[in-house]
Amino acid sequence: MSKIRKIDAHAHIGEDKARKMFSLPYNCDAKLLFKLACKNNISDIIVVPPPGQIVCPHLGMKHHPNIYGIEGIPTLLSSNDKMKFKCKCGAIWKVEDPFREVNEYLFKITRKLNKLKKVKFHPLPIIHPLKQKVAQDIQRYFEVYQIKGVKIHPLIDKTSPINYIDSELVDILADLDLKILFHTDNVAPALPTTVLEFVRRTKIYSQLAHACRADPQALRKIHDLKYAVVDISPLNMIIDDRNRLLTNKKFSSYKHFIKYVINLAGENKVLAGSDYFWCGWKEKYYKEQWKEFESFGNEKIIYKNALEFWDLL
């Protein structure tokens, strides 16, 4: 199995500003990902920027309460020419696009790495669905960088996907035949069932990340919903952090967990992903995860499903 083609359907490149302010280890180094991909015979990678870019300008300062995590994500107050955010510390600020810097870096570095012709990187820009000119942004990304889709992180946006079912965002994605990679979690507004309601009503092809937090209801819906697939990423963090699972089922091993997801969602709907660098902040976890995926012996999970869904032929 070691020589077979493999596709990493969920990885990150860039630096998380919020974690940097807390001196936490989160630098999704592009050169390291390239090295790991080469070592593990990865042919293609669906790659997105790190989350955590909507950051209070006072975060990390001496008198700031230093709220970080889900509860500390700034709230969007308005979105006209500039997006206006407010932190729980009371600070209010405006920014044209909180994701511009990480998206520009993503495109720049993936174009450089793709010139080496060893691993093919497919960049998905992260977008805020409530940004006024998000449709124009996506149109430009498509024309200039030939993107295959976008990344949406409902927790970072603090926005339920239901809120933009009827929007220019959906219209442009449909017009350009683009897909979405959705972060899913165990809390609103990133619940897998909420994301799937968006998918059902818009018919926008979407990949739901993190195994839908093992939510059996969501995985069964993916089995029957033409427009949805699910990625298993990252193996070690999903199973070890039981507080973020949406099932009471106990998993004895990674293989047990993979089998559980496949049994519910169907082998044609499951994609392998590393979630680099969230796979534990240690280089060894990348290799360990892919050994687990390979040992399961299913080429659809390792590369065929991602190949078809993301049109990587």
Contact by Cβ (8 Å): 156, 72? no
The verdict on residue 240 lying in a domain is yes
**pLDDT reported for residue 62:** 79
- Looking at residue 276, the DSSP 8-state letter turns out to be B
Local confidence band at 48 (pLDDT 50, 70, 90 cut-offs): very high
Domain count, the chain: 1
Mean pLDDT confidence for 122-133 = 96
The verdict on residue 1 lying in a domain is no
**pLDDT reported for residue 58:** 87
The verdict on residue 35 lying in a domain is yes
The verdict on residue 65 lying in a domain is no
The span from the CA of 198 to the CA of 163, in Å, is 9
The verdict on residue 64 lying in a domain is no
**pLDDT reported for residue 241:** 81
In a 3-state reduction of DSSP, which class is residue 10?
strand
Contact by Cβ (8 Å): 206, 228? yes
Q: The tokens of 8 are what? A: 């990493």
CATH (domain of 129) = 3.20.20.140
Question: In which domain, by residue range, is 155 found?
Answer: 6-56+97-309
For residue 3, the tally of other CB atoms under 10 A from its CB is: 6
CA 259 to chain centre: 22
The verdict on residue 255 lying in a domain is yes
Local confidence band at 68 (pLDDT 50, 70, 90 cut-offs): low
Q: Which residue has the higher pLDDT, 27 or 5?
A: 5
Q: The tokens of 220 are what? A: 């069964």
Q: The tokens of 230 are what? A: 């699910």
Residue % of the chain over a pLDDT of 90: 77
Q: What is the largest CA-CA distance in the chain?
A: 55
The verdict on residue 105 lying in a domain is yes
78: β partners = 84
**180-237 pLDDT per residue, tens:** 999 999 999 999 999 999 999 999 999 999 999 999 999 999 999 999 999 999 998 8
The verdict on residue 269 lying in a domain is yes
**129 pLDDT higher than 90:** yes
Mean pLDDT confidence for 150-157 = 96
